[in-house]
Each structure stands twice: as structure tokens, then as C-alpha cells.
């Protein structure tokens, strides 16, 4: 977490690094290979006070933090995510206004932030490889955790198709082309300021749902409105449960880039644990389907281990395989967590597991 490691600009916290080294060493001792994320939404206050990612110097400061962190942890960590869901961070902070800094309909700021985050990722990618090469390490893996959705025309009309394509381009493709290839797409920019190349060693997918797109005459909503497919199963937040979307995204981006795919987040909020087990089974079935068609999916990370704090929904959205009583901090493994644990132990789903979890 950036603010823990660099609480003041240019001043680093050695105690925080020592804590992270201890955590990582314990993971390695149990056979867990960590995938370290360097930016997951939160900023140091000193960065926020300077305009956060809208400041053109943000990339300089991020690179400084990345270099220091890599120098301190690079002997333990080979696998890195530079930035988690940059599109979500910018959308909720500058378009929807439900995350800090709470701005609404700031399209120019959205694209300014996109440009700065794209260029910061490229610099971080190069820095992580360079630092670990100096350590004599050749196994560095660096990527981005992209939040990807399926945008589907609600009735198949051309205006809906146009809006769906616009949502995909501005919410997803400008980040994928920029961070993955170094190519800026308008309106985030033009050309390749840091050079064209391959700036990801794996393709990270955070997948949760799809949106049905209806046409609207409003440029602030990208000429469309988003809704849930009529009659579809939904989770506690009203998101459609659409497992096939995971297969579709893996297929699309593996065909484009031919690099390993990491499913860096996939999960659902289900306070009663009524459908999470089926959710896990159905989404892993799509992962298996993709692998059987030749798609190189190397990792799947379930979101999330324990109930967590969601930035807008707080403690109300229960994503955990383990239930947390936040008053007492007591943890209880949910049935879905037991199911997922058995999948990990067995390397798949057995007939006995199907009998236990899906019959009766």
C-alpha cells in the first residue's frame, strides 16, 4: 500500500517494508507464491493533495515508489501487478463521484488520469524488470489487473451497438492498448510517447458481470444506459451472474495477445451463501472450457478470501469465502469456502463433491 511505504513524499517507511517482508516470507514458507499489487485504488494523502493521478508528475512519483519497493522486496517477489482496475478508479472518482475525490461527469479529468496511469504503468513495468535483472533474477512477471465487462446491446439495434462499442472502448480498450502496447487511443492521447512494445507479461482479468446497453441521446452517458438482462440471476448488489462472459473475455484477449491469462479477480457477494457455490462451479467450468480450447489460463484468484470493505458499499457486500463478524472479528468458513478449498485440494470437482454440494 503506497501510503504505508511512502507516507511522505520521498520518505520511506522501513517498518512497513519489514512487515511486508515478514508476511511474504510466511506465504513463501507455506508454498504460496505472492502476486503483489502496487496500486489498488488508495493514494498517499500527499499525492491526493497534489491532484493525485491528474498531476502530470504522478508517473515520476509512482516510479520512485515502485523502484524502492522492488529493491526492498524483489528478492522475494517475482510477480507484480502495477495498477489494479485503473478504469474503475477513474470512473468512480471522476464520473460517478462515489469514490474520492467525489467528482462527477469530469470526462476531461478521466482521460487525463487515464493517460497518466497508462504511462506510469509502462515506466513501472520497465523499472520492475530492471531492478530484478540487477539482482540476477530473470523470472519477473508484470501485468495489469483490468476490470473487464461484457457490454451487450439490449435489443441489437444499431444505436445500442454504437453505445456498447463506445463503452468498451472508453472503459476498457484505451487502458488495454495503452498499458499493454504503449499506444494511446483518443481521447486519452495519440501515438506512443514511451514507444510501442509489449508491456505486460500476462493478461490480468477481473471479471464480475455484463451490462445490457440501451440507447440514449446523452453524451455524458456515452449515448446509452446500462441495465441488467431481464429475468437474469443477480447477486446481492444486483449484478447479473453471467459465467459465459469469463470465457468470452479470455478467448478474445488470448487471441489478441497470445500471452498467459491470469484471472486476477472473480467472485460474488452473497450474504446468505445461497448461490456462491454454484457461482464458483459455473465460472470455473468456463475456465476449464477455455483451457480445453487451447487458451493458456495459468491462474485463478477468487475474490475474496474474507468479507472485505467495499469502497462504496462498505461492509454490506459480502464477497468472502470466509464470513467475518466485524463486531468480534470471528471468522467462519462458509460452505462455498469449503467447496472451493476442496477444489484446490483435489485439482478439480469430483463426483463426491457434486453429490455433497448440489444434491439434496
Q: Which residues are catalytic?
A: 85, 265
Sequence-distant (≥ 6) Cβ neighbours of residue 231 within 8 angstroms: none
Q: Which helix (H) or strand (E) holds 105?
A: none
| SS3 category, 263 | strand
What whole-number distance in Å separates Cα of residue 40 and Cα of residue 353?
35
> Which whole-number Å values give the CA distances from 17 to 33, 125, 127, in the listed order?
18, 20, 18
Where does residue 11 rank: exposed (0-12), middle (13-18), buried (19+ CB within 10 A)?
exposed
Residues forming beta bridges with residue 8, ordered by sequence position: 11
What whole-number distance in Å separates Cα of residue 336 and Cα of residue 280?
8
Sign for the CA dihedral angle at 199, 203, 204, 210 comes to positive
Beta carbons of 173 and 185 less than 8 angstroms apart: yes
| SS3 category, 345 | helix
Beta carbons of 80 and 33 less than 8 angstroms apart: no
Quickly count: other Cβ atoms within 10 Å of residue 25's Cβ: 11
Sequence-distant (≥ 6) Cβ neighbours of residue 73 within 8 angstroms: 17, 20, 21, 24, 36
Give the Cα-Cα-Cα angle 196, 197, 203 (nearest 5 degrees).
125
Amino acid at each position: 500500500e503506497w501510503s504505508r511505504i511512502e507516507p511522505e513524499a520521498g520518505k520511506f517507511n522501513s517498518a512497513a517494508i519489514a512487515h511486508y517482508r515478514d508476511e511474504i516470507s510466511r506465504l513463501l514458507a507455506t508454498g504460496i507464491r505472492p502476486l503483489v499489487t502496487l496500486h489498488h485504488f488508495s493514494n498517499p494523502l500527499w499525492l491526493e493533495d497534489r491532484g493525485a493521478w491528474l498531476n502530470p508528475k504522478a508517473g515520476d512519483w509512482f516510479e520512485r515508489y515502485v523502484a524502492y519497493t522492488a529493491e526492498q522486496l524483489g528478492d522475494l517477489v517475482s510477480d507484480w501487478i502495477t495498477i489494479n482496475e485503473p478504469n474503475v478508479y477513474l470512473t468512480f472518482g471522476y464520473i460517478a463521484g462515489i469514490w474520492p475525490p467525489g467528482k462527477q461527469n469530469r470526462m476531461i479529468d478521466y482521460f487525463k488520469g487515464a493517460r497518466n496511469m497508462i504511462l506510469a504503468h509502462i515506466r513501472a513495468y520497465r523499472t520492475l524488470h530492471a531492478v530484478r535483472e540487477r539482482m540476477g533474477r530473470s523470472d519477473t512477471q508484470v501485468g495489469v489487473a483490468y476490470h473487464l465487462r461484457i457490454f451487450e446491446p439490449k435489443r441489437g439495434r444499431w444505436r445500442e451497438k454504437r453505445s456498447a462499442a463506445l463503452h468498451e472502448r472508453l472503459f476498457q480498450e484505451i487502458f488495454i492498448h495503452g498499458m499493454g502496447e504503449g499506444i494511446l487511443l483518443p481521447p486519452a492521447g495519440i501515438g506512443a510517447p514511451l514507444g510501442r512494445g509489449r508491456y505486460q507479461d500476462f493478461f490480468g482479468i477481473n471479471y464480475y458481470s455484463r451490462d445490457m446497453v440501451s440507447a440514449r441521446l446523452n453524451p455524458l452517458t456515452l449515448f446509452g444506459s446500462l441495465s441488467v438482462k431481464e429475468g437474469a440471476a443477480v447477486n446481492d448488489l444486483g449484478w447479473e451472474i453471467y459465467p459465459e462472459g469469463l470465457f468470452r473475455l479470455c478467448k478474445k484477449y488470448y487471441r489478441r495477445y497470445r500471452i498467459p491469462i491470469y484471472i486476477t479477480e472473480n467472485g460474488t457477494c452473497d450474504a446468505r451463501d445461497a448461490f456462491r457455490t454454484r457461482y464458483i462451479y459455473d465460472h470455473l467450468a468456463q475456465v476449464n472450457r477455455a483451457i480445453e480450447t487451447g487458451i493458456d489460463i495459468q491462474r485463478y484468484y477468487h475474490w475474496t478470501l474474507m468479507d472485505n470493505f467495499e469502497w462504496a458499499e462498505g461492509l454490506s457486500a459480502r464477497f468472502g469465502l470466509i464470513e467475518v463478524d466485524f463486531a468480534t472479528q470471528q471468522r467462519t468458513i462458509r460452505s462455498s469456502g469449503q467447496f472451493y478449498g476442496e477444489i484446490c485440494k483435489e485439482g478439480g470437482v469430483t463426483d463426491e463433491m457434486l453429490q455433497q454440494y448440489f444434491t439434496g
